[in-house]
Protein backbone atom coordinates (compact mmCIF):
# COMPACT_ATOMS: atom_id res chain seq x y z
CA UNK A 1 0.00 0.00 0.00
CA UNK A 2 2.79 2.34 0.70
CA UNK A 3 4.13 2.15 -2.78
CA UNK A 4 0.79 3.12 -4.44
CA UNK A 5 0.33 5.97 -2.00
CA UNK A 6 3.72 7.39 -2.83
CA UNK A 7 2.95 7.21 -6.55
CA UNK A 8 -0.24 9.30 -6.06
CA UNK A 9 1.50 11.72 -3.80
CA UNK A 10 4.04 12.37 -6.55
CA UNK A 11 1.21 13.07 -9.03
CA UNK A 12 -0.79 15.47 -6.81
CA UNK A 13 1.25 18.57 -7.83
CA UNK A 14 0.30 17.87 -11.48
CA UNK A 15 -3.44 18.16 -10.80
CA UNK A 16 -3.54 22.01 -10.66
CA UNK A 17 -1.45 22.19 -13.83
CA UNK A 18 -3.76 19.77 -15.67
CA UNK A 19 -6.88 21.56 -14.41
CA UNK A 20 -5.42 24.91 -15.47
CA UNK A 21 -4.65 23.51 -18.93
CA UNK A 22 -8.21 22.17 -19.21
CA UNK A 23 -9.62 25.52 -18.13
CA UNK A 24 -7.51 27.36 -20.71
CA UNK A 25 -8.43 24.84 -23.42
CA UNK A 26 -12.14 25.21 -22.55
CA UNK A 27 -11.84 29.02 -22.66
CA UNK A 28 -10.14 28.90 -26.07
CA UNK A 29 -12.81 26.55 -27.46
CA UNK A 30 -15.60 28.71 -26.00
CA UNK A 31 -14.08 31.89 -27.49
CA UNK A 32 -13.62 30.26 -30.91
CA UNK A 33 -17.19 28.94 -31.00
CA UNK A 34 -18.57 32.25 -29.73
CA UNK A 35 -16.75 34.26 -32.42
CA UNK A 36 -17.75 31.80 -35.12
CA UNK A 37 -21.41 31.87 -34.02
CA UNK A 38 -21.43 35.68 -33.91
CA UNK A 39 -20.03 35.84 -37.45
CA UNK A 40 -22.67 33.36 -38.60
CA UNK A 41 -25.47 35.40 -37.01
CA UNK A 42 -24.09 38.65 -38.45
CA UNK A 43 -24.00 37.14 -41.93
CA UNK A 44 -27.58 35.87 -41.57
CA UNK A 45 -28.71 39.31 -40.38
CA UNK A 46 -26.96 41.03 -43.28
CA UNK A 47 -28.60 38.65 -45.76
CA UNK A 48 -32.04 39.29 -44.26
CA UNK A 49 -31.43 43.04 -44.29
CA UNK A 50 -30.35 42.90 -47.93
CA UNK A 51 -33.47 40.94 -48.86
CA UNK A 52 -35.74 43.37 -47.00
CA UNK A 53 -33.91 46.33 -48.55
CA UNK A 54 -34.40 44.91 -52.04
CA UNK A 55 -38.09 44.22 -51.43
CA UNK A 56 -38.65 47.70 -50.02
CA UNK A 57 -36.93 49.33 -53.01
CA UNK A 58 -39.09 47.29 -55.35
CA UNK A 59 -42.27 48.22 -53.46
CA UNK A 60 -41.35 51.91 -53.37
CA UNK A 61 -40.63 51.85 -57.11
CA UNK A 62 -44.04 50.27 -57.67
CA UNK A 63 -45.74 52.97 -55.58
CA UNK A 64 -43.84 55.66 -57.47
CA UNK A 65 -45.04 54.17 -60.76
CA UNK A 66 -48.63 54.32 -59.54
CA UNK A 67 -48.15 57.96 -58.51
CA UNK A 68 -46.84 58.74 -62.00
CA UNK A 69 -49.97 57.16 -63.42
CA UNK A 70 -52.15 59.37 -61.25
CA UNK A 71 -50.07 62.37 -62.24
CA UNK A 72 -50.53 61.49 -65.91
CA UNK A 73 -54.27 61.20 -65.40
CA UNK A 74 -54.45 64.79 -64.20
CA UNK A 75 -51.88 65.99 -66.71
CA UNK A 76 -53.80 64.78 -69.76
CA UNK A 77 -57.37 65.05 -68.49
CA UNK A 78 -58.32 68.54 -67.47
CA UNK A 79 -61.68 67.92 -65.85
CA UNK A 80 -61.53 64.85 -63.60
CA UNK A 81 -64.49 64.38 -61.30
CA UNK A 82 -64.49 62.29 -58.10
CA UNK A 83 -66.37 59.40 -59.77
CA UNK A 84 -63.78 59.08 -62.54
CA UNK A 85 -60.97 59.31 -60.02
CA UNK A 86 -62.60 56.61 -57.88
CA UNK A 87 -62.81 54.27 -60.90
CA UNK A 88 -59.16 54.96 -61.73
CA UNK A 89 -57.97 54.54 -58.14
CA UNK A 90 -59.89 51.27 -57.68
CA UNK A 91 -57.70 49.73 -60.38
CA UNK A 92 -54.61 50.81 -58.44
CA UNK A 93 -56.01 49.47 -55.17
CA UNK A 94 -56.78 46.14 -56.85
CA UNK A 95 -53.23 45.87 -58.21
CA UNK A 96 -51.64 47.02 -54.96
CA UNK A 97 -53.33 45.41 -51.94
CA UNK A 98 -51.16 47.43 -49.55
CA UNK A 99 -52.71 50.67 -50.85
CA UNK A 100 -55.79 51.13 -48.71
CA UNK A 101 -57.01 54.53 -49.80
CA UNK A 102 -56.62 57.14 -52.49
CA UNK A 103 -58.77 60.23 -52.37
CA UNK A 104 -59.68 63.02 -54.71
CA UNK A 105 -59.34 66.53 -53.32
CA UNK A 106 -60.11 69.31 -55.74
CA UNK A 107 -57.70 72.23 -55.69
CA UNK A 108 -59.62 75.39 -54.87
CA UNK A 109 -57.95 78.78 -55.15
CA UNK A 110 -58.41 81.20 -52.29
CA UNK A 111 -60.57 83.60 -54.31
CA UNK A 112 -62.86 80.69 -55.38
CA UNK A 113 -63.29 79.23 -51.88
CA UNK A 114 -66.55 80.94 -50.93
CA UNK A 115 -68.34 79.93 -54.11
CA UNK A 116 -66.99 76.36 -53.84
CA UNK A 117 -68.20 76.00 -50.26
CA UNK A 118 -71.65 77.34 -51.17
CA UNK A 119 -71.84 74.98 -54.15
CA UNK A 120 -70.85 71.98 -51.99
CA UNK A 121 -73.36 72.79 -49.25
Q: Are residues 59 and 97 in the same domain?
A: no
Q: Are residues 27 and 59 in the same domain?
A: yes
Q: Are residues 1 and 38 in the same domain?
A: yes
* pLDDT bucket at 121, cuts 50 / 70 / 90: low
Q: Are residues 62 and 91 in the same domain?
A: no
Quick: pLDDT tens for 19-33: 999 999 999 999 999
Q: Are residues 1 and 48 in the same domain?
A: yes
CB 61 within 8 A of CB 68: no
Mean pLDDT of the chain: 88
Number of domains in the chain: 2
Quick: pLDDT tens for 62-94: 999 998 988 888 888 878 888 888 888 888 988
Range of the domain at 61: 1-76
Q: Is the pLDDT of residue 53 over 90?
A: yes
Q: What is the pTM of this model?
A: 0.58
3-state SS of the chain is: CHHHHHHHHHHCCHHHHHHHHHHHHHHHHHHHHHHHHHHHHHHHHHHHHHHHHHHHHHHHHHHHHHHHHHHHHHHHCCCCCHHHHHHHHHHHHHHCCCCCCCCCCCCCCHHHHHHHHHHHC
Amino acid sequence: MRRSTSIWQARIPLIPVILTMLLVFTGVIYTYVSVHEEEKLTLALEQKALTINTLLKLQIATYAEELYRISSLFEYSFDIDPVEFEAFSNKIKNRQPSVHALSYQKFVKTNERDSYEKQDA
